[in-house]
Structure 1
Amino acid sequence: MDRHGNHGRREVPLMQTRRRRVSMADVARLAGVSSQTVSRVSNGHPGVVETTRQQVLAAMKELGYRPNSAARALKRGEFRTIGIILFTLSTTGNVRTLEAISSSAAQEGYATTLLPVAVPTQDGVRGAFTRLGELAVDAVIVIMEVHLLDAATVSLPPNVQVVVADSDAGDRYSVVDTDQAGGTREAVRHLLDLGHRTVWHLAGPEESFAAERRTAAWRATLTEAGRAIPPLVRGDWSAESGYRAGLRLAEQPDCTAVFTANDQMALGLLRALREKGRAVPEDVSVVGFDDIPEAGSFMPPLTTIHQDFAEVGRRCVDGVLRQMRADTTERGTTLVPTWLVRRDSTAPPPAEASGRPAE
């Protein structure tokens, strides 16, 4: 017994318990092949007999061998990794776009590295791009407001291609976006065609490109139709802000139709209207934007503009891969179509509120 009370047992230092990293030579010895053959199997080289390939794969599995992807990347001149820079995962659009980017990249044999910007400031953006320069990525997809991207002094690593989602940066970068203006026009025209004299708008935050594009299209559509433009009401994308705005809109007796800039704000608006005794759609019609999975379960089910976030993600990946393979930088904007999904939250206005303004 030693002075610590142990019966003849000796503690083994932690460093001695760590297993040595399995090498390519170890796999070669177990499989009975050359290290060059192991390298070919590891890199997916077609010139290996299938029985030999299976023999090598079995040895890799038995030994727990993991190929050195960094060394392979340096040899090939590519890392097969796409970086993604974005502000937040709290919005439906960002989450669904990110999911589509990741799955599309995986189908092409690429991994993704997420670089969230904790605070949407110039310093935050600059920090994300600094981290990007330290990582092994072949391309980057940016999901952020372009004014911050431009305002920050950012520099990309050499040969890293860029695609920006949800932005107006088409003259500086390759952009993929949903048809914000087209979707808004369809929403407003739907309400006007039902007989509403005009359409109120619950807008998103002023600093958002998507919100401003929808606001501009709402105003232009009413102007083209010769209708009055009601005062703009703003929210911050959240259901709570929609509720607060809804309490104010419910006090407007001439408000019979509201186009909301997203479905979450529409949810809060529906609650406020109900609490104030304004029935939807009998007294007030409501149209959202996004077509989130829960939109059909609102009370009443929400008429909304469908955005194909999955297609946006796919086209972002297609865009960066096309630039990488052609070794060229693209500019311009690709618009993904939107469409109206009609449910039960819209109807003709009350009889006394219907009709067009006098010519």
Structure 2
Amino acid sequence: MVALTSAGDAQARRRPPSMAEVAALAGVSAQTVSRVANGRTNVEQATRERVLAAMGTLGYRPNRAARALRSGRSRSIGVLVYTLTSYGSTRTVNGIALEAAKAGYSVTLIPLASPEPADVSAAFETLAEQSVDGAAILLEVQRMTAAEIVLPTDLPVVVVDSGPPTRYPAIDNDQARGARLATEHLLGLGHRNVWHIAGPQASHSAEVRRTTWEKTLRDAGAPVPEVQRGDWSPEAGYAIGSRLAEDPAVTAVFAANDQMALGVLRALHDAGRDVPGDVSVVGFDDMPESASFQPPLTTIHQHFDRIGVECVSALLEEIENGERQDHALVPVELVVRASTAPPA
């Protein structure tokens, strides 16, 4: 015998659970459910977990469109990024996405064809169509000024890995401290000639590391070798490392990132020069693979996850409270491994 159901019964089953039903199951008010659904922080953790459990049991999903109409916010953050091929950019974007999700915000990613002002301005026009509440910009350029790039005046913006702009908070790892620690470490081991493989000249972080390396050597009264210019890749590190390996006077190399340092290690190995017996090598970034290089790489540890947290925190502070934060530098640390030693 086949059971028959009315259209009304079918419609009732299809009706999504309401906020009132979630509140009843969790034993709280509908206002508390609303606070949890909107990512508010003024809810006790135990209560929040009870509400989230009730949402999961009933299959409740907040209506983002209705919520946006009520609040005037989309609860979305835009991220403009020039390149996702670098380790730092990839990890920073990941950190932003994770932290935004914790706060109940989605992320709209807009890749840039170039870091030129016209392309950045065009990307912001695209973001305007997405109705984001704020935006983070990852350009890896030396400087971004309000005069060069046309941005919406009412949109909260933070800038990552760029020279301090005139109007927006800039958040970055402490590049200068990292370069100084790397150079001082090699000098402290007794190396007098510390060579540097820099990143692209247009890169803000590369130029800070290069100028700080040079200043640290001059302050120590050490000679300043000719800077070697790479492009962040292991291939560039290998090509430059092969040239440096031909000079027996080269005993220490500071590469501006771990990928170029990896190329240097391979070039020295292929040339029959021992690391660290003949040449000490230091990188920058502390990629997870760096501890597995042969030998394990001495490097500068950057907190890209912390950059993501700081970005989202600065944006939400302005989005929700109207308060603009100052520029912020995240501390870095020297991680000493087996690729550095006193000169033979």
Identity %: 46
With normalisation by structure 2, the TM-score equals 0.82
Contact 2:146 2:166 in 1 (8 A): no
Contact 2:143 2:162 in 1 (8 A): no
The answer to whether residue 341 in structure 2 is matched with residue 347 in structure 1 is yes
Q: Secondary structure at the residue paired with 1:289?
A: coil
Alpha-carbon offset, residue 150 of structure 1? 4.6
Alpha-carbon offset, residue 114 of structure 1? 0.7
Q: How many pairs were matched up?
A: 312
1:143-222 correspondence to structure 2 within 5 Å = 143-144=138-139, 145=141, 147=143, 150=146, 152-156=148-152, 158=154, 160-169=155-164, 171-222=166-217
More deviation, 102-111/205-214: 102-111
Distance, in Å, in 2 between the alignment partners of 1:127 and 1:201 is 36
Distance, in Å, in 2 between the alignment partners of 1:273 and 1:255 is 11
C-alpha RMSD of the superposition: 3.0
Q: What are the ranges of 5 or more consecutive residues in structure 1 without an aligned counterpart? A: 1-21, 48-52, 351-359
Contact 1:202 1:232 in 2 (8 A): yes
Cα distance 1:77–1:274, how it changes in 2: closer, same or farther (>3 A)? Answer: same
Distance, in Å, in 2 between the alignment partners of 1:23 and 1:138 is 36
Alpha-carbon offset, residue 120 of structure 1? 3.3
Task: Give 1:44's aligned amino acid.
Answer: V
Q: Spell out structure 1 runs of 4+ moving beyond 4 A.
A: 22-26, 40-43, 56-61, 65-68, 148-152
Look up the match of 1:138: 133
Cα distance 1:24–1:221, how it changes in 2: closer, same or farther (>3 A)? Answer: farther
Query: Pick from 116, 120, 144: which aligns with 1:121?
Result: 116
Deviations 1:294-317 (A, max 9, x none): 001101100000001111111111
Task: Give 1:310's aligned amino acid.
Answer: D
Query: Pick from 264, 284, 289: which aligns with 2:259?
Result: 264
Q: Secondary structure at the residue paired with 2:223?
A: coil
More deviation, 172-181/66-75: 66-75
Task: Give 1:341's aligned amino acid.
Answer: V
More deviation, 204-213/275-284: 275-284
Distance, in Å, in 1 between the alignment partners of 2:179 and 2:239 is 22
Deviations 1:91-142 (A, max 9, x none): 1111111111111111111111111113333332122111011112111111
Query: Pick from 328, 336, 341: which aligns with 1:334?
Result: 328
Larger-gyration structure (1/2) = 1
Task: Give 1:249's aligned amino acid.
Answer: L
Look up the match of 2:15: 27
Alpha-carbon offset, residue 69 of structure 1? 1.8
Look up the match of 2:249: 254
Cα distance 1:58–1:133, how it changes in 2: closer, same or farther (>3 A)? Answer: closer
Alpha-carbon offset, residue 71 of structure 1? 3.0
The answer to whether residue 233 in structure 2 is matched with residue 238 in structure 1 is yes
Alpha-carbon offset, residue 57 of structure 1? 6.3
